[in-house]
Amino acid sequence: MSTDVDAGRRRFLTASVAVVGGVAAVGTAVPFVAAWQPSERARAIGAPIEVDISKIEPGQMVTYKWRGQPVWVVSRTPEILDSLPGLDERLRDPGSTQDQQPAYARNDFRSIKPELLVLIGICTHLGCSPSYIKQDQAPLGAGWPGGFFCPCHGSMFDYAGRVYAGVPAPTNLVVPPHKYLSDTRILVGVDEGST
């Protein structure tokens, strides 16, 4: 008789512990999962940005911010575009063979529209932000065809963000995913062709 009671109590206790354990597991699982949900701020930081390019003058560069990084939009003149093919022999990867741009920017100008260049403004050496230096301007002076110069260790990039040979930066500057919403608006962070 007492053996039956003990066995019944043991089953009850075992079942109770299992249920309590299950409740505890659920109770801890919810906040843990919740902690992995991105906050509104994190969503905003990672979200695409829409930029108005209607006021960019020919030859001018404007900087925007996406995911905490500078995004440059450069309005390239016909003279700038004409100068690009002549630099190929001085560049490390003139044909953009390395994966530093979306497929739709793997072309002679590294862009969707030749006259507008979109780049991440971070040096591919150690992450400094290069300066936009127009043709023949200091500190590179006479003979400099224009482009980007990183003052940290002297890396140079042309007007398509292609890296010169013999400098510390190993690869071309990155072209971020982007698409045109209209002639005057670009969405950075979303690929051309996606809806």
**3-class state of residue 118 by DSSP:** strand
> How many other C-beta atoms can be found within 10 angstroms of the C-beta atom of residue 159?
24
Tokens of 170: 């190993």
133 makes contact with ligand FES (CB under 6 A)? no
Alpha helix ranges (H) inside 101-170: none
- Min dist CB 169 to ligand FES, Å, is 5
> Cα–Cα distance between 167 and 91 in angstroms, integer?
10
80 makes contact with ligand FES (CB under 6 A)? no
Q: Which of residues 150-169 bind ligand FES (CB under 6 A)?
A: 150, 152-155, 168-169
- Residues 168-180 as b or e (16 or more Cβ within 10 Å = b): ebebbbbbbbbbe
Q: Which of residues 40-69 bind ligand FES (CB under 6 A)?
A: none
128 makes contact with ligand FES (CB under 6 A)? yes
Q: Please list, in sequence order, all residues whose beta carbon lies within 8 angstroms of the beta carbon of residue 144, skipping any fewer than 6 positions away.
A: 133, 135, 136, 137
Q: Is 107 left (phi over 0), alpha (psi -120 to 50) or beta?
A: beta
> How many other C-beta atoms can be found within 10 angstroms of the C-beta atom of residue 64?
18
Tokens of 142: 């006479």
Nearer residue to ligand FES within complex by CB, 133 or 186: 133
Single residue of 61, 73, 74, 123 touching ligand FES by CB under 6 A: 123
- Min dist CB 119 to ligand FES, Å, is 14
Stretch in the footprint of ligand FES (CB under 6 A) among 10-18, 21-29, 34-42, 125-133 = 125-133
Stretch in the footprint of ligand FES (CB under 6 A) among 28-36, 77-85, 97-105, 146-154 = 146-154
Nearer residue to ligand FES within complex by CB, 94 or 130: 130
170 makes contact with ligand FES (CB under 6 A)? no
129 makes contact with ligand FES (CB under 6 A)? no
Which residues in this chain contact ligand FES in the complex, by CB under 6 A?
123, 125-128, 150, 152-155, 168-169
